[in-house]
Amino acid sequence: MVQIVEQVLRAQPYQAGKPIGELAREIGMPEADIVKLASNENPLGMSPVAREQANAALLDAAYYPDANGFELKAALAQRFAVPQDWLTLGNGSNDILELLASTFLGPGTSAVFSQYAFIVYAQATLRVGAQSIVVPAREYGHDLDAMLAAIRDDTSMVFIANPNNPTGTYLSAAQLEAFIARVPSSVVVVLDEAYNEYLPPELRVDSVAWVRQYPNVVITRTFSKAYGLAGLRVGYAIASAETTEYMNRIRQPFNVSNVAQAAAIGALQDDAFRQKTYETNLQGLAQLSAGLDALGIEHVPSHGNFVLAKFGAHAAQVNAFLLKHGIIVRPVGGYGLPEWLRISVGLEAQNTRLLNALKASALTR
Ligand SMILES: *Cc1c(COP(=O)(O)O)cnc(C)c1O
């Protein structure tokens, strides 16, 4: 008999949003008629500048990508005014989170994160044989005082998502800085800012300043959400040169494809697309929020490109109804939120279709 390692025996596969093609096959509906509001993707698609540069890069697909991502790192270094040796590229920021776990966690160590925080923190922690310390949420968000109190002698990492997925909750600069200042310098604080670009400018935290001031702070960002490149898989970390060097030792050399690197460079150049994305999301969030209010559906105020809405004991039934009508949202039972569904913000017509379907679903009960 083969032996399966203990961590794998205890692991659960990641529950991804249902692919459009899969639902199309299941219900016999054309793919074009299906609305996917399940994976916090950009409903505007990708930036045309990114697409152009990705297309050009495809001509070089016979070659290995630049293992050090020089051009993309140069663009990021300029944007954030940090040295290139503070940057790590990942196959999505999921890859970055795993690299961080592999660098700082292992058997005999623990990681602290919040209840309802992004599920990858638990998976990455388990995978490397470290212990998860899950701190009860406060109003669906991070309770930073409780997280600080939960840090033990064996704790080497704290994960914080700001804004958090799937709840959409937000922590202010003042709250975060007070927390970071009190965390022992031996504990790495991972600040996951996957939804940063969706925050209004006045709520965006200057987290890079914290990396300068506190070498134990690591920022993770992604091109999957506001930049509309989820399918190409590019994320990055901003961390001290020392941390970056350790992560680089265990990184797969070609973890970001040449097409993905080129697209990310193009996406960074396209300020107009990002602004349009931001505005579309703001309007869509307001539309969904007002629509849910009108239907009397409780939801958590969101700072991301999604809304967590409560359907109580009917959640699974509502989800099935939506699927039958060609709308994919995200069940979050895996997060311990079986009475809720996470709905990504779509284009106006998609949001309308979702809200109409929710209304119809309530009438059928
Ligand atoms: C989507 C998401 C990520 C990572 O996405 P990638 O596609 O792997 O970059 C990371 N953190 C949070 C909180 C997310 O929601």
In this structure, what DSSP letter does residue 32 have? G
List phi, psi (to 5°) of 28: 65, 40
Calpha distance 154→108 (Å, rounded)? 7
Asked if residue 365 has pLDDT above 80, the reply is no
Calpha distance 309→291 (Å, rounded)? 11
Calpha distance 186→176 (Å, rounded)? 17
pLDDT in tens, 90-106: 999 999 999 999 999 99
CATH topology of domain 48-270: Aspartate Aminotransferase; domain 2 (3.40.640)
| Residue from 15, 89, 114, 118 whose mutation best tests the ligand 1 pocket (most atoms within 8 A of CB) | 118
Ligand 1 binding pocket includes 167 (Cβ within 6 Å): no
Shortest-distance Cα residue to atom 6 of ligand 1: 92
Averaged over 110-131, what is the pLDDT? 97
Ligand 1 binding pocket includes 193 (Cβ within 6 Å): no
Domain residue ranges in the chain: 6-45+272-364, 48-270
Q: What is the whole-number distance in angstroms between the Cα of residue 192 and the centre of ligand 1? A: 8
pLDDT given at position 71:
98
Which H or E element spans position 132?
Answer: strand 131-135
Q: What is the whole-number distance in angstroms between the Cα of residue 222 and the centre of ligand 1? A: 7
Q: What is the whole-number distance in angstroms between the Cα of residue 193 and the centre of ligand 1? A: 9
pLDDT given at position 364:
80
Ligand 1 binding pocket includes 224 (Cβ within 6 Å): yes
| Residue from 120, 164, 234 whose mutation best tests the ligand 1 pocket (most atoms within 8 A of CB) | 120
Calpha distance 175→78 (Å, rounded)? 28
End-to-end CA distance of the chain: 51
pLDDT given at position 342:
98
Q: What is the whole-number distance in angstroms between the Cα of residue 361 and the centre of ligand 1? A: 30
Ligand 1 binding pocket includes 123 (Cβ within 6 Å): no
Long-range residue pairs from 279-287, CB within 8 A, at least 24 positions apart, any chain: 280/43, 280/44, 280/345, 280/347, 281/198, 281/226, 281/305, 281/345, 282/200, 283/348, 284/43, 284/345, 284/346, 284/347, 284/348, 284/351, 285/345, 287/348, 287/351, 287/352, 287/355
Asked if residue 116 has pLDDT above 90, the reply is yes
Nearest-atom index, ligand 1, CA of 93: 9
pLDDT in tens, 252-294: 999 999 999 999 999 999 999 999 999 999 999 999 999 999 9
Q: What is the whole-number distance in angstroms between the Cα of residue 226 and the centre of ligand 1? A: 11
| Residue from 93, 256, 330 whose mutation best tests the ligand 1 pocket (most atoms within 8 A of CB) | 93
Nearest-atom index, ligand 1, CA of 166: 15
Q: What is the whole-number distance in angstroms between the Cα of residue 194 and the centre of ligand 1? A: 6
Calpha distance 158→312 (Å, rounded)? 31
pLDDT in tens, 136-179: 999 999 999 999 999 999 999 999 999 999 999 999 999 999 99
* CA–CA distances in Å: residue 220 to residues 90, 229, 230, 239, 343: 10, 16, 15, 9, 23
For residue 125, the Cα-to-chain-centroid distance in whole angstroms is 17
pLDDT in tens, 347-362: 999 999 999 999 999 8
Calpha distance 328→252 (Å, rounded)? 33
Asked if residue 25 has pLDDT above 90, the reply is yes
Q: What is the whole-number distance in angstroms between the Cα of residue 163 and the centre of ligand 1? A: 11
CATH architecture of the domain covering 6-45+272-364: Alpha-Beta Complex (3.90)
3-state helix, strand, coil in the chain (%, to 5): 45, 15, 35
Ligand 1 binding pocket includes 235 (Cβ within 6 Å): yes
Asked if residue 300 has pLDDT above 80, the reply is yes
Nearest-atom index, ligand 1, CA of 225: 1
| Cβ atoms of residues 343 and 309 within 8 Å | yes
| Number of CB atoms found within 10 A of residue 134's CB | 18
Ligand 1 binding pocket includes 165 (Cβ within 6 Å): yes
Ligand 1 binding pocket includes 305 (Cβ within 6 Å): no
pLDDT given at position 16:
85
Which residues have C-beta within 8 Å of that of residue 150, sequence separation ≥ 6? 112, 133, 135
Calpha distance 8→249 (Å, rounded)? 24
pLDDT mean across residues, the chain: 97
